[in-house]
Structure 1
Amino acid sequence: MTIHAQTFECITCHESKPFEAFYADRSRRDGKRRACKLCDHAARAERKRNVTATREIAKHLAMHAARKRLREQLAATRDNIAAPVSISTAE
């Protein structure tokens, strides 16, 4: 019984690698992902960095919007306090 080591070409780095260098993917006919483990790991790390950066940007924008709302509320409060109060004496 001879076991043939199958090789695939990674769609990212275009290197031919052995069957074991690819993660399993039950949805594919051959049962393996098209990108090798090294390229897949690099892509996941890049997505994680992008998600972290996106969260930081969203956090910054939310904080900026909250500060803007607070400034507007303070300005409205100041306008109410500074408005002259007219006291009419109807005697």
Structure 2
Amino acid sequence: MTNSISHARDLADRLLLHVLEDPELLSSLLGRSGMEPSHLSAVVNGPGVHEFILDFIAENDERVMSCADALGVSASEIGMAARLLARRD
């Protein structure tokens, strides 16, 4: 299980970098969360960043597919990572 959690976190880190490098995705993230760009650093460095970014990606099928293609992973891998980290206590 630890390996799966580690893999899910690694995937979330890759997704976060992808979002931060894509102006359209970053704008969507900020708009969806209501967060100011100046608050982004606190979220990125916060304890719930993996769940936060996976929730953002997983809320939209088109976003999942686009990110999966960009990272060279399957859409189901993103979904499984989101579910795994959401169940974590």
More strand per residue: 1
Indicate the TM-score class for this superposition, using the shorter chain for normalisation: under 0.3
TM-score by length of 2: 0.26
User: Rg bigger for which structure?
Assistant: 1
TM-score by length of 1: 0.25
